[in-house]
Amino acid sequence: MARILVTGGTGYIGSHTVVELMQKGYDVVIVDNLSNSNQAVLDGIAAIVGSKPDFVQADCCDNAAMDALFARYHDIEGVIHFAASKAVNESVEQPLMYYRNNLMSLVTVLEMMKNHHVKHIVFSSSCTVYGQPDAAHLPVDETAPIQKALSPYGNTKQINEEIICDQAHADSTLHATILRYFNPIGAHPSAMIGELPNGVPQNLLPFVTQTAAGLRAELKVFGDDYNTPDGSCIRDYIYVVDLAKAHVKAVERMLSGLPTEQVEVFNLGTGRGLSVLEIIRTFMQVTGVNIPYQIVGRREGDIEQVWAKPDKANTVLNWSADTPIEEVLLSAWKWEQKIRSLD
């Protein structure tokens, strides 16, 4: 079976994608610098699939280390590039770190692919490239205009997409699939892997589960004065396992020579928008755990409302994200209980 390099493979989405790849029979190599993940994730992956993937600890911005990796694994057929810093609000505070990490890691990976004759890349992009779509473009399909990014994080995703398109234009042998995801949540049903942020969580659901577990006194809801039904931000929350399966579909499609364009773009979401307050209330309903929360001011860089029109991915990739939100929220709580040993 083909060998796939997964950058950022011990991270949240990366680790779930590694599981899905290995369960389909792919040989997987992970490269990760462990800046926002833990090597123990490899044990979780092994507990699910029965063996550990190969692992190289390195920074994707490190030319020499990446060159050595590609030379060692000379049979890599495709790359899934997750490695990036990923928090909107942190990027507003530390833009240079985001530009260095997110741009240089991709440039280095593409250079290594060219030097070592690897032709296929799946790139982890984001719905942040659409900014705040106007009403005419909600739900958001792939033809929605790319808008000026509201955060350095969103800008790095836009620039990275442009880098990929420019390199594909220069190199007719390169094939890329850009996956623009909405908001990944949840954990593997085995509770062997899940979202494990270092330090204070930057995403909603780990904050919810940590508050439920008593690690945090209360949850902050950033703004209840948005132009939405309950005043809180609306997002398209997609189950991480469903999302991971889309990456496998993208790899299969490229390795089979099916893409009709050198660079294909897909929006990955459920097609349904849920508000922050709806997530909190649904979590309380399905778990029976009360979540104390406080409404605070809006957070810079946050988009008011965005959700996907995933028809293209549904049709072309033969993929859909249809796990019920209740099941997804329970998976996150089961994971939180496991890591906190609250059972």
Torsion of CA 262, 108, 123, 202, to 10 degrees: -160
Residues 6+ away with beta carbon under 8 Å from 179: 122, 123, 124, 125, 246, 247, 250, 266, 268
Residue 236 contacts residue 271 (beta carbons within 8 Å): yes
Indicate the burial class of 8 (C-beta count within 10 angstroms; 0-12, 13-18, 19 or more): buried
Backbone angles phi, psi at 294, to 5 degrees: -130, 135
273 vs 275: CA distance, rounded Å:
7
Q: Give the length of the chain.
A: 343
Sheet holding 27-32, edge to edge: 54-57, 27-32, 3-7, 76-81, 120-126, 175-181, 263-268
Residues 6+ away with beta carbon under 8 Å from 197: 36, 203, 206
Tokens 């364009």 belong to 261
Q: For the chain, how far is it from start to end, CA to CA, in angstroms?
A: 39
DSSP letter at 150? S
Task: Using DSSP, state whether 126 is helix, strand or coil.
Answer: strand
DSSP 287-329: H-----EEEE---TT--SB--B--HHHHHHS-------HHHHH
Residue 308's closest CA among 343, 269, 255? 269
Residue 83 contacts residue 7 (beta carbons within 8 Å): yes
Instruction: Supply 139's token pair.
Output: 């739900």
Residue 121's closest CA among 104, 108, 132, 109? 109
Question: Which residue among 153, 226, 237, 239 is the active-site one?
Answer: 153
Concerning whether 293 is annotated as a catalytic residue, the answer is: no
Provide the annotated active-site residues.
153
